[in-house]
Protein backbone atom coordinates (compact mmCIF):
# COMPACT_ATOMS: atom_id res chain seq x y z
CA UNK A 1 0.00 0.00 0.00
CA UNK A 2 1.25 3.49 -0.84
CA UNK A 3 1.10 6.33 1.65
CA UNK A 4 0.01 9.62 0.07
CA UNK A 5 0.77 13.02 1.57
CA UNK A 6 -0.90 16.17 0.32
CA UNK A 7 -1.26 19.77 1.33
CA UNK A 8 -4.73 21.15 1.90
CA UNK A 9 -6.06 24.34 3.44
CA UNK A 10 -6.71 24.40 7.17
CA UNK A 11 -10.43 24.67 6.45
CA UNK A 12 -10.44 21.59 4.21
CA UNK A 13 -8.31 19.68 6.73
CA UNK A 14 -10.96 20.33 9.39
CA UNK A 15 -13.64 18.95 7.06
CA UNK A 16 -11.56 15.89 6.14
CA UNK A 17 -10.40 14.95 9.63
CA UNK A 18 -13.65 13.32 10.83
CA UNK A 19 -13.84 11.17 7.68
CA UNK A 20 -10.14 10.45 7.38
CA UNK A 21 -10.46 6.69 7.64
CA UNK A 22 -13.10 6.67 4.85
CA UNK A 23 -11.22 9.06 2.57
CA UNK A 24 -9.54 6.37 0.38
CA UNK A 25 -12.94 4.82 -0.39
CA UNK A 26 -14.55 8.20 -1.03
CA UNK A 27 -11.75 9.08 -3.45
CA UNK A 28 -12.01 5.70 -5.17
CA UNK A 29 -15.75 6.17 -5.65
CA UNK A 30 -15.21 9.68 -6.95
CA UNK A 31 -12.68 8.51 -9.53
CA UNK A 32 -14.93 5.88 -11.13
CA UNK A 33 -16.42 8.55 -13.34
CA UNK A 34 -20.07 7.55 -13.29
CA UNK A 35 -21.87 8.56 -16.48
CA UNK A 36 -25.34 7.16 -15.79
CA UNK A 37 -28.04 7.15 -13.13
CA UNK A 38 -25.61 5.10 -11.03
CA UNK A 39 -24.27 8.49 -9.95
CA UNK A 40 -27.22 8.81 -7.56
CA UNK A 41 -26.32 5.55 -5.83
CA UNK A 42 -22.63 6.50 -5.66
CA UNK A 43 -23.64 9.82 -4.12
CA UNK A 44 -25.66 7.96 -1.48
CA UNK A 45 -22.62 5.89 -0.53
CA UNK A 46 -20.29 8.89 -0.47
CA UNK A 47 -22.74 10.88 1.68
CA UNK A 48 -23.00 7.93 4.08
CA UNK A 49 -19.22 7.61 4.39
CA UNK A 50 -18.79 11.38 4.78
CA UNK A 51 -20.73 11.16 8.06
CA UNK A 52 -17.83 9.15 9.57
CA UNK A 53 -19.88 6.01 10.34
CA UNK A 54 -18.68 3.46 12.84
CA UNK A 55 -17.27 0.22 11.44
CA UNK A 56 -20.47 -1.56 12.55
CA UNK A 57 -22.60 1.06 10.75
CA UNK A 58 -20.67 0.34 7.55
CA UNK A 59 -21.17 -3.40 7.95
CA UNK A 60 -24.92 -2.81 8.35
CA UNK A 61 -25.17 -0.30 5.49
CA UNK A 62 -27.42 -0.81 2.49
CA UNK A 63 -28.28 1.67 -0.24
CA UNK A 64 -31.80 3.07 -0.35
CA UNK A 65 -34.80 0.98 -1.37
CA UNK A 66 -35.02 3.13 -4.50
CA UNK A 67 -31.45 2.26 -5.49
CA UNK A 68 -32.03 -1.42 -4.72
CA UNK A 69 -35.18 -1.36 -6.84
CA UNK A 70 -33.33 0.20 -9.75
CA UNK A 71 -30.64 -2.49 -9.55
CA UNK A 72 -33.26 -5.25 -9.44
CA UNK A 73 -34.92 -3.76 -12.54
CA UNK A 74 -31.61 -3.63 -14.42
CA UNK A 75 -30.77 -7.20 -13.43
CA UNK A 76 -34.18 -8.40 -14.62
CA UNK A 77 -33.80 -6.58 -17.94
CA UNK A 78 -30.31 -8.02 -18.30
CA UNK A 79 -31.54 -11.54 -17.66
CA UNK A 80 -34.25 -11.02 -20.30
CA UNK A 81 -31.66 -9.67 -22.74
CA UNK A 82 -33.48 -6.35 -22.95
CA UNK A 83 -30.90 -3.86 -21.61
CA UNK A 84 -30.21 -0.78 -23.66
CA UNK A 85 -26.59 0.32 -24.06
CA UNK A 86 -27.08 3.05 -21.45
CA UNK A 87 -28.69 0.61 -19.04
CA UNK A 88 -25.77 -1.79 -19.54
CA UNK A 89 -23.35 1.01 -18.67
CA UNK A 90 -25.39 1.79 -15.57
CA UNK A 91 -25.43 -1.86 -14.50
CA UNK A 92 -21.66 -2.07 -15.01
CA UNK A 93 -21.15 1.05 -12.88
CA UNK A 94 -23.43 -0.27 -10.14
CA UNK A 95 -21.49 -3.53 -10.13
CA UNK A 96 -18.21 -1.63 -9.69
CA UNK A 97 -19.80 0.35 -6.85
CA UNK A 98 -21.10 -2.82 -5.22
CA UNK A 99 -17.64 -4.40 -5.49
CA UNK A 100 -16.05 -1.44 -3.69
CA UNK A 101 -18.64 -1.57 -0.89
CA UNK A 102 -18.22 -5.34 -0.51
CA UNK A 103 -14.44 -5.00 -0.36
CA UNK A 104 -14.76 -2.21 2.24
CA UNK A 105 -17.08 -4.36 4.36
CA UNK A 106 -14.72 -7.33 4.08
CA UNK A 107 -11.78 -5.18 5.15
CA UNK A 108 -13.70 -3.87 8.15
CA UNK A 109 -14.88 -7.35 9.14
CA UNK A 110 -11.29 -8.62 9.02
CA UNK A 111 -10.10 -5.70 11.16
CA UNK A 112 -12.84 -6.32 13.72
CA UNK A 113 -11.88 -10.01 13.94
CA UNK A 114 -8.28 -9.04 14.73
CA UNK A 115 -9.28 -6.72 17.57
CA UNK A 116 -9.27 -8.30 21.04
Compute how many other C-beta atoms are within 10 angstroms of the C-beta atom of residue 78.
Answer: 13
Q: Which residues contact 113 (CB under 8 A, 6 or more apart)?
A: none
Given this model, what pLDDT does residue 55 score? 95
Q: Using alpha carbons only, what angle is made at residue 111 by residues 108 and 112, rounded to the nearest 5 degrees?
A: 85
Given this model, what pLDDT does residue 33 score? 82
pLDDT exceeds cutoff 90 at 99: yes
By the 8 A CB rule, do 22 and 29 touch? no
Q: Which of 34-38, 77-81, 91-95 has the lowest mean pLDDT?
A: 34-38
pLDDT exceeds cutoff 90 at 71: yes
Q: Which of 24-28, 29-33, 53-57 has the lowest mean pLDDT?
A: 29-33
Taken in order 10, 12, 17, 20, the sign of the CA dihedral is: negative
pLDDT exceeds cutoff 90 at 18: no
pLDDT exceeds cutoff 90 at 42: yes
Amino acid sequence: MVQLTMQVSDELAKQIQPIGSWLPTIIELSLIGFKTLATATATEVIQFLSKAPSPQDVLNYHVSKQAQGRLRRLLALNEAGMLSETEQLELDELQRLEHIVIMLKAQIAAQLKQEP
